[in-house]
Amino acid sequence: MKQESFSVMECRCRKKRTKREEFLEIMDEIIPWEEWVSLVVPHYPTGKRGRPPMEIETMLRMYLLQCWFSLSDEGVEDAIYD
């Protein structure tokens, strides 16, 4: 039996990148998240009353996806959990 090289083992274990992963990488490269989050922080609820708020960056990402793909609130929620 022949011993496999490291390159063969690496190629066999490598996972194919999905379109979703590629899209999210491009989104991370284009958008200055720290700057946008710092703009929203003063106006975002602190969660002193009621339900605790979601992270600001998560909400911004969901909002952008909703705008770019013309999704309803339910459509964004379905897209996230699929």
On whether residue 6 sits in a domain, the answer given is no
pLDDT at 8 over 80: no
Q: Tell me the pTM.
A: 0.67
Q: Is residue 2 a part of any domain in this protein?
A: no
Report the pLDDT averaged over residues 73-77. Answer: 84
Q: Domain span at residue 43?
A: 17-81
Q: Count the Cβ atoms, other than its own, within 10 Å of residue 9.
A: 10
1 has pLDDT over 90 = no
- 74 found inside a domain: yes
What's the rounded Cα separation, in Å, for the pair 75 and 69? 10
Confidence at residue 31, expressed as pLDDT on a 0 to 100 scale: 93
Convert the pLDDT of each residue in 11-59 to its tens digit.
667 777 788 888 888 999 999 999 999 999 999 888 888 888 888 998 8
Q: How many domains does the chain have?
A: 1
Is the Cβ–Cβ distance between 68 and 48 less than 8 Å?
A: no
